[in-house]
Structure 1
Amino acid sequence: MNDALAALYPQHLATLRERTDTALARGGFEHLVVPAGRPITKFLDDQDYPFIVNPHFKHWLPLVDAPGSWLVYTPGEKPKLVFLQPRDYWHVVPEAPTGYWVDHFDIVVVRKAADAIAELPGLARSAVIGDQHCGLQDIVANNPPEVIDHLHYHRAFKTPYELELMREASRRGTRGHRAAERAFREGASELGIHQAYLAAVGQLDAELPYASIVGLNEHGAVLHYTNFDRSAPADSRSFLIDAGASASGYASDITRTYAGKNAGEFQALIDSVDAAEQSFVARVRAGQSYPELHVHAHHVLAGVLREHGFIRMSAESAVESGVSSAFFPHGLGHGIGMQVHDVGGFQAAETGGTIAKPEGHPYLRLTRKLEAGMVVTIEPGIYFIDMLLAELKDKPFSGDIDWARVDAFRKYGGIRIEDDVVCTASEPENLTRDAFALL
């Protein structure tokens, strides 16, 4: 894989330089300065939370564990890495940078965090992108909107180098999903399933792009369920797992739902949602409005609800009345890349602005029109959430819902199927299904 990355990296770097040149010119800045960041210390403690690198830092180079380091870029000059390699016998000291990318940088090694100041350009003329944890008290990130807006808008378009890393993240994630399914079939607890997932992926919790969702039975109805029961239920009727993996800071985001033994009615519903999901994936084309695809998904899923006997109303009535939103209460998906919910999803143009969410759909995370190079998730679902279903019972259309049928499915929790999909100039590339096929 490194040979492929080595061949693709120069073009990736050239693309970042071009974007940054334009962004700096718009903001009237001469330099881009990006801190990797530093670990955050826990309140009233001397222990740190796991380090999470600044995404603007790892966009340039595949370093995700280099706290206290800095990236400096000046148009027309070679990018510079100020690499902190402290004298420290308490912790493992980072190895000196090596790999396919190092020859593209001027690398300066410093032993103390404060020594980096001498290696940075004049900050009054620099766009410093980071949070309040830059690593040096004397340096404050200014995050100029003119620069941020341009970079975030174009970050939606992945370079071939980035796509190769996302393919690897998908391959790692699908290995974990296969191991998790096996653990479920063998009767493991939620914690046991998650441990099997981590072992197969080869990553720690802190290295994953987001906290894994591992829900058995009714827990599948909790959209962000992260509790991990230590004991297995007496009867594992259903299993929903939403878990990803990382590759040099790039994410995969994969969800699958499985029926247990003697749950044929639930498996039939899974199959219908899976078929619907694949039909939505097929619409990931240049020019497709993502909000329109989201609303289309509501109509299709309402048809699934009717087909399986949960509702008696038409799909159109189910969407207009909000019934479909009670069963499918989240967005169809989002952009993905260095962050699992990538930035710029609502941005109207490279100069800023916002594209509003469609009325009645407050949780949609992406409102842009799809273009070649974008990577999005497609993750429809049908859930049996007590709180949302209770709100329907007092509505005039309550009689059009088969409550006995609904009640029979509460024990399964819910269904979500999620793939990561590349929008291309022609057929979409399904990173997730391709990775599963390789297994």
Structure 2
Amino acid sequence: MLFDKETYTARRDRLKRKVKEGLILLFGNNDAPSNYPANVYKYRQDSSFLYFYGQHREGLVGVIDIDNHKEYLIGNDIDIEDIVWFGAVDSVADLAAQSGVEHSAPMSRLEELVTQARTQGRKIHFLPPYRHDQMIQLMDLTGIHPSRQREEASLELIMAVIDQRAVKTPAEIEEIERACAIGHEMHTTAMRLCRPGVSEQYIAGTISGIASAKGCMTSFPTILSMHGEIMHGYPSPRPLEDGRLMLCDAGAETNENYCSDNTRTTPINGRFTSRQRDIYSIVEACHDHVLDIARPGVKWWDVHMSVARLMTERLKELGLMKGDTEEAVRNGAHAMFFPHGLGHMMGMDVHDMEGLGQRYVGFDDEVQPSTQFGTNCLRCGRRLQEGWVMTDEPGIYFIPALIDEWKSKGIHKDFINFDLLETYKDFGGIRIEDDILITASGCRMLGHERIPYHMDDVEEFMAQRTN
């Protein structure tokens, strides 16, 4: 457990005060078979269960009976056969005591508790499930078919969990910065290995090994490609080519499942071309602009749009965009180059709490999601709060299929210079991403060591590589 039992008790007490009544079910994860039952994927505990109980063991369910002032940790003790193969582990009763939970019981008791609450007409609160074994278990307990479980999940519980998990304590920030330290080693290693002839898969595999050795795992499958214009360009066997750029989007997850997430775009031969410098300088300026304007009370929507305006102005200077900047951004013309959101919350999930419903995590009555292309990928729009952790990740991409689509249909022809844009089809893409903490007066980048990202710093770092 990362924290003492008082921390988890206090978190559950706050949850009870927010939800007010009913029976709360918080499902931990089970082992997930890969290709046959005994060969399982690397285990990962559910983040919300871990947040409120701190236990990593599989096969557990937390039950909070608000009305009767009782809490249970439900799960079966392992038998001697499991002990032979996996070693002895603490009993469920011991795990409950470690988490500050008074009662424990075998899994068979869960049905009894839920049935009793349903008979009494009490509300059963659960979060949207995302694993099919949990969906089946929930259907057996409540009678709700898996196709309806997400829409029937408890909004009171969802909002209460988001309210707590969104604001990170100093102790949580320390754990995130441990992940950032691993991420720093991953990214600087990728930059050192970046050179013509080295394969994308070799670099991605090497840095994933760093995460495995120093943390729990990567916080998401590593994105590493010369085709930076592909948002999720996973590594291929192809060797890196002289004169192109390598985009690496990767992060680490600690043993306690707190995450980092950074992106760097590196010239494969160690030097940016003039054209690469032109585009990189815009992304660099947009990245640093966020550091200047993000602060409590400011809408992340407005930060995103401010970056879009700055990007549009700079692209106009290069002749790639034209027309009125405000009108271009309002109509979404910038999404030709920037088709994703500026960033997302981060914590125990790299896209923090996204499984609870992005419209609840990142939006509210004041700021609603957009349906406009590009802006519809903005994962957060509401006002920033002190203690939030966000990613700052502007990018510029030249996507041949998108260029052809918009050009053929005349989409945003008043704002985009398609003739010049044609000459950039072989460019790829550039993204710079860092993790930022919203502080009382502004924001700061997380991680005690900075992964080089200013162009001169990148070239200096690359020049110091050893073979």
Q: TM-score range by the shorter chain?
A: 0.7 to 0.9
Q: Which amino acid aligns with 2:48?
A: H
Q: Paired residue for 2:257?
A: 249
Q: Which amino acid aligns with 2:247?
A: L
Cα contact 2:199–2:239 (8 A) shared by 1? yes
Q: Which range is displaced more, 427-436 or 41-50?
A: 41-50
Q: Paired residue for 2:458?
A: none
Cα contact 2:261–2:435 (8 A) shared by 1? yes
Partner SS state of residue 220, structure 1:
coil
Q: Which amino acid aligns with 1:346?
A: R
Q: What is the rounded CA distance, in whole Å, between the counterparts of 2:192 and 2:217 in structure 1? A: 23
Alignment of 1:190-269 (within 5 A): 190-202=200-212, 207-216=217-226, 219-226=227-234, 228-235=235-242, 237-247=244-254, 248-261=256-269, 263-265=272-274, 266-269=276-279
Q: CA deviation at 1:293?
A: 1.4
Q: Paired residue for 2:100?
A: 105
Q: What is the rounded CA distance, in whole Å, between the counterparts of 1:109 and 1:331 in structure 2? A: 44
Alignment of 1:84-103 (within 5 A): 84-86=77-79, 87-88=81-82, 92-93=86-87, 95-96=89-90, 103=98
Q: Paired residue for 2:121?
A: none
Alignment of 1:136-175 (within 5 A): 138-139=140-141, 143-175=153-185
Q: CA deviation at 1:235?
A: 2.7
Q: CA deviation at 1:311?
A: 2.7
Partner SS state of residue 194, structure 1:
helix
Q: Paired residue for 1:424?
A: 439
Cα contact 1:83–1:109 (8 A) shared by 2? no
Q: What is the rounded CA distance, in whole Å, between the counterparts of 1:100 and 1:177 in structure 2? A: 37
Q: 1:152 to 1:408 in 2, by over 3 A?
A: same
Q: What is the rounded CA distance, in whole Å, between the counterparts of 1:270 and 1:365 in structure 2? A: 24
1:53 lines up with 2:68 in the alignment: no
Partner SS state of residue 339, structure 2:
coil
Q: Paired residue for 1:414?
A: 429
1:188 lines up with 2:188 in the alignment: no
Cα contact 1:419–1:433 (8 A) shared by 2? no
Q: What is the rounded CA distance, in whole Å, between the counterparts of 1:327 and 1:355 in structure 2? A: 24
Q: Which range is displaced more, 184-193 or 235-244?
A: 184-193
Q: What is the rounded CA distance, in whole Å, between the counterparts of 1:300 and 1:387 in structure 2? A: 25
Q: Paired residue for 1:356?
A: 368
Q: 5+ unaligned residues in a row in structure 1: which ranges?
A: none
Q: CA deviation at 1:42?
A: 5.7
Cα contact 1:423–1:429 (8 A) shared by 2? yes
Measured against aligned partners, the alpha-carbon deviations of 1:195-222 in whole angstroms (never above 9, x if no partner) come to: 1211222359993221111111xx1111
Cα contact 2:389–2:435 (8 A) shared by 1? yes
Q: 1:327 to 1:149 in 2, by over 3 A?
A: same
Q: Aligned to 1:378, which of 392, 398, 415?
A: 392
Partner SS state of residue 222, structure 1:
coil
Q: Which amino acid aligns with 2:28?
A: A
Q: What is the rounded CA distance, in whole Å, between the counterparts of 2:47 and 2:411 in structure 1? A: 48
Q: 5+ unaligned residues in a row in structure 2: which ranges?
A: 118-123, 143-148, 453-460, 462-467
Q: What is the rounded CA distance, in whole Å, between the counterparts of 2:225 and 2:249 in structure 1? A: 9
Partner SS state of residue 162, structure 1:
helix
Q: 1:357 to 1:136 in 2, by over 3 A?
A: closer
Cα contact 1:12–1:160 (8 A) shared by 2? no
CA RMSD of aligned residues (A): 3.8
Q: Which amino acid aligns with 2:434?
A: D
Cα contact 1:280–1:297 (8 A) shared by 2? yes
Identity of aligned residues (%): 24
Q: What is the rounded CA distance, in whole Å, between the counterparts of 1:304 and 1:35 in structure 2? A: 49
Q: CA deviation at 1:49?
A: 4.4
Q: CA deviation at 1:274?
A: 1.4
Cα contact 2:71–2:102 (8 A) shared by 1? no
Q: 1:400 to 1:128 in 2, by over 3 A?
A: closer
Q: CA deviation at 1:79?
A: 6.8
Q: 1:175 to 1:233 in 2, by over 3 A?
A: closer
Cα contact 1:419–1:432 (8 A) shared by 2? no
Q: Which amino acid aligns with 2:265?
A: T
Q: 1:47 to 1:346 in 2, by over 3 A?
A: same
Q: Which range is displaced more, 379-388 or 54-63?
A: 54-63
Q: Which range is displaced more, 285-294 or 301-310?
A: 301-310
Q: Which amino acid aligns with 1:339?
A: D
Q: Paired residue for 2:360?
A: 347
Q: Paired residue for 1:13?
A: 8
Partner SS state of residue 239, structure 1:
strand
Q: CA deviation at 1:246?
A: 0.6
Q: Which range is displaced more, 358-367 or 198-207?
A: 198-207
Q: 1:274 to 1:399 in 2, by over 3 A?
A: same
Partner SS state of residue 293, structure 2:
coil
Cα contact 2:224–2:248 (8 A) shared by 1? yes
Q: Paired residue for 2:464?
A: none
Q: 1:145 to 1:314 in 2, by over 3 A?
A: closer
Q: What is the rounded CA distance, in whole Å, between the counterparts of 1:94 and 1:285 in structure 2? A: 48
Cα contact 2:260–2:350 (8 A) shared by 1? yes
Q: What is the rounded CA distance, in whole Å, between the counterparts of 1:102 and 1:186 in structure 2? A: 56
TM-score (norm 1): 0.81
Cα contact 2:8–2:54 (8 A) shared by 1? no
Paired positions, count? 421
Q: Paired residue for 1:36?
A: 28
Q: What is the rounded CA distance, in whole Å, between the counterparts of 2:73 and 2:297 in structure 1? A: 38
Q: What is the rounded CA distance, in whole Å, between the counterparts of 2:414 and 2:231 in structure 1? A: 27
Q: 1:91 to 1:434 in 2, by over 3 A?
A: same
Partner SS state of residue 388, structure 1:
helix
Cα contact 1:78–1:104 (8 A) shared by 2? no
Partner SS state of residue 429, structure 1:
strand
Q: Paired residue for 1:313?
A: 323
Q: CA deviation at 1:15?
A: 4.4
Q: CA deviation at 1:415?
A: 0.8
1:368 lines up with 2:377 in the alignment: no
Q: Which range is displaced more, 188-197 or 78-87?
A: 78-87
Q: What is the rounded CA distance, in whole Å, between the counterparts of 1:236 and 1:206 in structure 2? A: 35
Q: CA deviation at 1:400?
A: 6.3
Q: Which range is displaced more, 242-251 or 317-326?
A: 317-326
TM-score (norm 2): 0.77
Partner SS state of residue 376, structure 1:
strand
Q: Which amino acid aligns with 1:175?
A: E
Q: CA deviation at 1:251?
A: 1.6
